[in-house]
Amino acid sequence: MPNLRYVVALALASLALAAPAPAAEEARMRLRDLGISIGHYPTGKFNAITDVAGVKVGHHTLAGPPGTPIHTGVTAIVPRDDVWNKKVFASQFRLNGNGEMTAAHWIEEAGWLETPILLTDTLSIPQVSDGVVTWMENHYPDMGLGDDVVIPCVAECDDSFLNDQRGRHNLGAHAMTAIEQAKSGPVAEGAVGAGTGMTSFRFKGGIGTSSRMVSKEDGGYTIGILVNCNMGTRGDLRIDGVPVGQEIPQLMPKSKPSEGSIIMVLATDAPLLPHQLNRMCRRMAMGLARTGTTAHHGSGDIAIAFSTATVVPHYPKELTMPVNAINNTHLDPLFDATIECMEEAVDNALCMAKTTVGRDGNTVYALPYPELRKAMRKHGHPVK
């Protein structure tokens, strides 16, 4: 009787949303607000994946009051409006595959992505996928009749330490809301959307984003990355090389959260072919490595990259399409920028996420700024 479960979930979720905000909510800052920046390429306007023109991000958050069971959500990354008819070149890469990003076969085969990318918790993938199907059916009424059927792209991290994941509280309607509410401009980070219940380096993790721009000479392209961080053990954490995790052994969760996972999403307006986007994915993995995480067996560290430069048509009449492709020999600035952008996206997730008390009182603490500042200074790193 799935219906009953839905009813209960909706009731619980409503309860959660109706709850008053915590009294003394801590103010959180992004990494750069702390005087720390990664690398040397300039960021885009919002230092977010939405700096790539046309890319939108939407969150649907289910965060109950402290100690209640529901701390989860959905995040939608929309590559561009009507991506079904205006596909983007894309590629996936698995650094460690204890996780899921659906549509893997299709994206690798076609070299394109034709749907929004949805992030959520592991057991909610089915319902979130179903929401994508509903959303697509609503927008493309010929789907499954004269038109092809959709294979959603949904990726997960395991938030079961803080969230009653068994309840599968992220419903199809929430996925639709996340897509509908997706917008350009600043992106909410930390314990929001799919990041609501995430834990990273045993600190509160979740959504982080960053962007970089390469010079005019290198094409003036923008790269934006959005991650959902759920990976890493404390001692491994490094920020711009500084062993922050070793310097802050305190504020540990009382029991061990489930292992890891990070979903990494890269958008760019650089004209990359599918096999070149796979190369970008591997650079996201390199940026991730700089944060100190080691991709444990239990971690699902999966990357996807897409380029908005080419509009790949849906069942075109024309035999061929003109593509502007970057020359391999000019990729290095994009590689370099990707790696530093990736590191900062993770750091933003940590810096922005708030202490969360989840199911059964399980508590994951926010990365504390004073200790972070102290660690950075100790290692000769500028910090505000």
Site for a copy of itself in 21-60 (CB under 8 A): none
- Minimum distance from CB of 202 to a copy of itself (Å)? 15
Closer residue to a copy of itself in complex, CB, 50/363: 363
The helix (H) or strand (E) run that includes residue 149 is none
Residue 366: which H helix or E strand, with range? none
* Antiparallel, parallel or unpaired: β 86-97 and 112-113: antiparallel
Of 65 and 219, CB closest to a copy of itself: 219
Please say if 299 is a catalytic residue: yes
Residue 204 neighbours by CB under 8 Å, 6+ apart: 190, 191, 198, 350, 353, 354, 355, 356, 364, 365, 366, 367
Residue 274 as a binder of a copy of itself (CB under 8 A): the answer is yes
Do 353 and 188 form a contact (C-beta atoms < 8 A)? no
Does 127 contact a copy of itself by CB under 8 A?
yes
- Rounded to whole angstroms, the Cα distance separating 219 from 99 reads 35
- 200, 211, 299, 307: the catalytic one is 299
Asked whether the beta carbons of 256 and 368 are under 8 A apart, the reply is: no
Instruction: Map the footprint of a copy of itself across residues 166-195, applying CB under 8 A.
Output: 166, 168, 171-173
Closest CA to 310 of 325, 298, 297: 325
370 binds a copy of itself (CB under 8 A): no
CB of 61 to a copy of itself, least distance (A): 20
Which of 35, 185, 241, 249 touches a copy of itself (CB under 8 A)?
A: 241
Q: Which C-beta is closer to a copy of itself: that of 28 or that of 202?
A: 202
**CA distances (Å), 273 to each of 35, 58, 277, 316, in order?**
36, 27, 6, 19
Question: Interacting stretch for a copy of itself, rule CB under 8 A, among 18-26, 47-55, 200-208, 333-341?
Answer: 333-341
Q: Which entry of 164, 240, 269, 301 is annotated as an active-site residue?
A: 301
- Nearest residue (CB) to a copy of itself, 80 versus 238: 238
Interaction residues for a copy of itself, span 73-102 (CB under 8 A): 94-102
Active site residues: 261, 299, 301
